[in-house]
Amino acid sequence: MSDRRTGPPTREQVFGVTAVTMLLFIGAGAGIGNRPEAVVLLLLEMMVAVPAMMFAAVTSRSFGRLFRFRKPGFPGLAAAAVIGAGMKPVFDEGTILIASLFPMPPDIADALARALIWDNPAEAVVLFLAAVPAAALAEEMLFRGFIQTSLERSGYRDRAVYISALLFALLHLNPWWFIQIVLMGVALGFIAMFTDSIWPAAAAHGVFNLAGLLVSNAGTMSAIWYTETGHVSPLLIIAGAGVAGAAFVWLRRMQPRRELNA
């Protein structure tokens, strides 16, 4: 039997740390809500992985093993980045379709739109740091690192990707994005599983978020991205799905799924 400090965290420990993280995330968001939106976003993203990191330190577990910090190859990172870029138009069209069936309240829609738009260079830098390196690394450390890896090693290998994806969607606190974020989480989960590393998943996540920032702040790009009907260009959807699917298949064949040791 594995020692409790060196073996995989138990299911109870995983869900306990996740619950603490979500409570901290919600509480911190309420506590620092009077700061500029970009700063709030950066601070929230920076604390996402803190409870899991504290758990690793207190239980003397290896950060590299617990958070899946295995060094990836460049081809894996490149394929994952292509997947992240390809998912963006598909995600956006999904959001538009869901909003057409279940309209988002105007105040929430306006707040989400404002949160991604910068008014000056300093705000652009803060938003970039929050949405790209901070969000990609911290969220992947928690969901595809701590949660998914722990569940895989605790006997939940076939369900770990889906459980981590559901929790990933719950953290975002947006029912209009829930389905899209779950699907994105599943894709990121399989990227992490195939490569046995969170770095390719973080690359895909970061590129996805970067595309969102650019579309929100570049008028010419938005004009290319969307049609006059308010939907994403069908050519972009097809191209995005095509390149993401091809990169995913290539990544799977290039790096066969590894067996994990408990």
User: What's this model's pTM, rounded to 2 decimal places?
Assistant: 0.90
pLDDT computed for residue 6 by the predictor: 61
CA distance 9 to 18: 12
**Reduced to 3 states, what is the DSSP secondary structure of residue 15?**
helix
Which carries the bigger pLDDT value, residue 218 or residue 188? Answer: 188
pLDDT band at 219; cut points 50, 70, 90: low
DSSP bridge pairs for 124: none
3-class SS letters over 16-34: HHHHHHHHHHHHHHHHCCC
CA distance 86 to 81: 9
**Mean pLDDT taken over the chain:** 87
pLDDT band at 214; cut points 50, 70, 90: confident
Lowest mean pLDDT among 154-163, 198-207, 224-233: 224-233
pLDDT computed for residue 223 by the predictor: 58
Lowest mean pLDDT among 86-95, 178-187, 209-218: 209-218
State which amino acid sits at residue 189: G
* 15-34 tens-digit pLDDT: 999 999 999 888 876 666 55
pLDDT band at 228; cut points 50, 70, 90: low
Count the Cβ atoms, other than its own, within 10 Å of residue 124. Answer: 15
Lowest mean pLDDT among 47-51, 101-105, 216-220: 216-220
CA distance 240 to 250: 15
Q: Are 15 and 166 in contact (CB under 8 A)?
A: no
Residue 155, phi-psi category: left (phi > 0), alpha (psi -120 to 50), beta (remainder): left
Residue 232 tokens read as 């994403």
